[in-house]
Amino acid sequence: MKHNFVIYNSLSRIKQPFKPLHEGMVGMYVCGPTVYGDAHLGHARPAVTFDILYRYLRHLGYKVRYVRNITDVGHLEHDADTGEDKIAKKARLEQLEPMEVVQLYLNRYHEDMKALNVLPPSIEPHASGHIIEQIEYIKRILDAGYAYESNGSVYFDVPKFNKDHNYGKLSGRNIEDMISATRELDGQEEKHSPLDFALWKKASPEHIMHWPSPWSEGFPGWHLECSTMGEKYLGETFDIHGGGLDLLFPHHECEIAQSVAAQGHEAVKYWIHNNMITIEGKKMGKSYNNFITLSQFFNGDHPLLEKAYSPMVIRLFILMAHYRSTVDFSNAALQAAEKAFQKLTDTYRRLGTLLPAEKSSVEIPDYIQKCYEAMDDDLNTPQVISYLFEASKAINSAAAGEIKLSSEDIAKLRHLFDVFLIDLLGIKMSDESGNNNASKAYEGAVDLLMEIRKNAKLQKDWATSDLIRNKLSELGFDIKDTKSGVEWSVKG
Ligand code: ZN
């Protein structure tokens, strides 16, 4: 099948045909989590969005190197109360070694991602493990003349860079507007311009995580780690850089400036951003008290939640919107996703029990082709889901005996669900995280017994057929003979 995969590039602001820099291979960098707290819904959206892109690129036959970093050096967003670095503050409060705090939250992040069926990236580099590379990168920017040292810190010289290149090309902002919008902030007297950003920051005595450098004992600026680790693992130019829309400015704008300053050219071909999640129309934020962590979603333990929602329901909820649209969380929206999940999984199971007819009594559209077209059009997952629902109608009508389906059509529908629902959307039938293999084996074993019983019935071997039915019934299974086959479930 010929694919015409187009993807929206935030840099050109249009959908562009996807053509990697190197034939058959894709380099993809996605800004990963800052590990000083539990992952919340805002972490789930980029993780799921770029998981879909990763899965689709691999499905199209590309070899993908997917790098997702761990921000663990504490970036420049200081805690408002004390001005301390967030990881350092947690460490002081919880009496832990800073790297112990990092590992604690990283382990929990990995558990949440596994529950959401997000595939692990190829490389997950820590900013704290790349201090030497970041220092070398700063030296290159200094040598190029686009940075200066001030009181032990090193700042990127935005106005100077803007004279030679264009600062603001990704966000579409211009430097005069930015200057007039900037308020005087603490520590700014070190900078030549309020727009300049730190490449290296001298550590204050309270700051726990710090490293030696030619300029001071300190720590790297947040924007720097992504330019440095992107170059290290994907080369001076690579295909995709992704992240949430909240990172487009200043983080990604600064990354472009850093690469142009250090390398003399841009690093990234396609900039891809997922839109944000609001909670009942409001931005997520401390002041709204509406940060709901993923584990709270999974166990229902938050005042805004009417009940617990399983990881697969959260995943489907995210995929029911296009990644470039905003998504608003509400209990009603999640309950709609829960119903959709139940319907799709019931249909998938029913698909395994359909008895084929000689000929289909209705024409089944080519849903596989339609779903590929939807994925090729900037990963239109809501469109894929709506085709799966159309296909579900046909499957359920066949199960109810209202229409007939040929074995060829049943096989195509099965392929449709296997490829799009399971492999590409990454929806697992069983929602018990970590126990998927066991439940697959169990479902397969019961399906096999159904098959044996069906054959026994065809050969009028009633003894075997009744034995299987009665034994399974004793074990708590509900077996229903339908016009077109058999359905089973476990009695509630
Ligand atoms: Zn980043």
How far apart are the CA of 32 and the centre of ligand 1, in A? 7
How far apart are the CA of 31 and the centre of ligand 1, in A? 4
Q: Model's pTM, two decimal places?
A: 0.85
Positions in the chain whose pLDDT score sits under 70? 1, 74-85, 94, 182-188, 286-287, 431-440, 484, 492
Contact indicator for 327, 318 with CB cutoff of 8 Å: yes
Strand partners, 477: 490
How far apart are the CA of 16 and the centre of ligand 1, in A? 23
How far apart are the CA of 240 and the centre of ligand 1, in A? 12
How far apart are the CA of 446 and the centre of ligand 1, in A? 47
Looking at residue 488, what is its pLDDT? 82
What are residue 151's phi and psi, to 5 degrees? 55, 40
Looking at residue 187, what is its pLDDT? 56
How far apart are the CA of 230 and the centre of ligand 1, in A? 9
425-445: string of b/e by CB count within 10 Å (b at 16+)? bbbbbebebeeeeeeeeeeee
Strand partners, 357: 406
Closest CA to 284 of 328, 222, 331, 335: 328
How far apart are the CA of 112 and the centre of ligand 1, in A? 21
Looking at residue 175, what is its pLDDT? 87
Which residues, in sequence order, are CB contacts of 330 under 8 Å at separation 6+? 280
Strand partners, 283: 278
The 10s digit of each residue's pLDDT in 364-407 is: 999 999 999 999 999 999 999 999 999 999 999 999 999 999 99
Looking at residue 77, what is its pLDDT? 40
User: Angle at Cα 425 formed by Cα 419 and Cα 431, nearest 5°?
Assistant: 105
Q: What CA–CA distance (Å, rounded) separates 260 from 282?
A: 37
The 10s digit of each residue's pLDDT in 257-316 is: 999 999 999 999 999 999 999 988 888 876 677 789 999 999 999 999 999 999 999 999
What does the DSSP 8-state code read for residue 75? -
Q: What CA–CA distance (Å, rounded) separates 38 from 59?
A: 31
How far apart are the CA of 69 and the centre of ligand 1, in A? 8
Contact indicator for 279, 292 with CB cutoff of 8 Å: yes
How far apart are the CA of 125 and the centre of ligand 1, in A? 12
The DSSP H or E segment spanning 198 is: strand 197-202
- Residue 373 Cα distances to 51, 253, 367, 419, 423, angstroms: 19, 32, 10, 14, 16
Q: What CA–CA distance (Å, rounded) separates 29 from 236?
A: 12
How far apart are the CA of 480 and the centre of ligand 1, in A? 53
How far apart are the CA of 221 and the centre of ligand 1, in A? 11
Q: What CA–CA distance (Å, rounded) separates 269 from 19?
A: 9
How far apart are the CA of 30 and the centre of ligand 1, in A? 7
How far apart are the CA of 172 and the centre of ligand 1, in A? 19
How far apart are the CA of 311 and the centre of ligand 1, in A? 26
What are residue 436's phi and psi, to 5 degrees? -70, -40
Looking at residue 435, what is its pLDDT? 45
User: Angle at Cα 374 formed by Cα 419 and Cα 335, nearest 5°?
Assistant: 75
How far apart are the CA of 67 and the centre of ligand 1, in A? 11
What are residue 401's phi and psi, to 5 degrees? 80, 10
- Residue 342 Cα distances to 123, 315, 400, angstroms: 34, 13, 18
Looking at residue 84, what is its pLDDT? 60
Q: What CA–CA distance (Å, rounded) separates 431 from 444?
A: 16
How far apart are the CA of 296 and the centre of ligand 1, in A? 26
How far apart are the CA of 251 and the centre of ligand 1, in A? 7
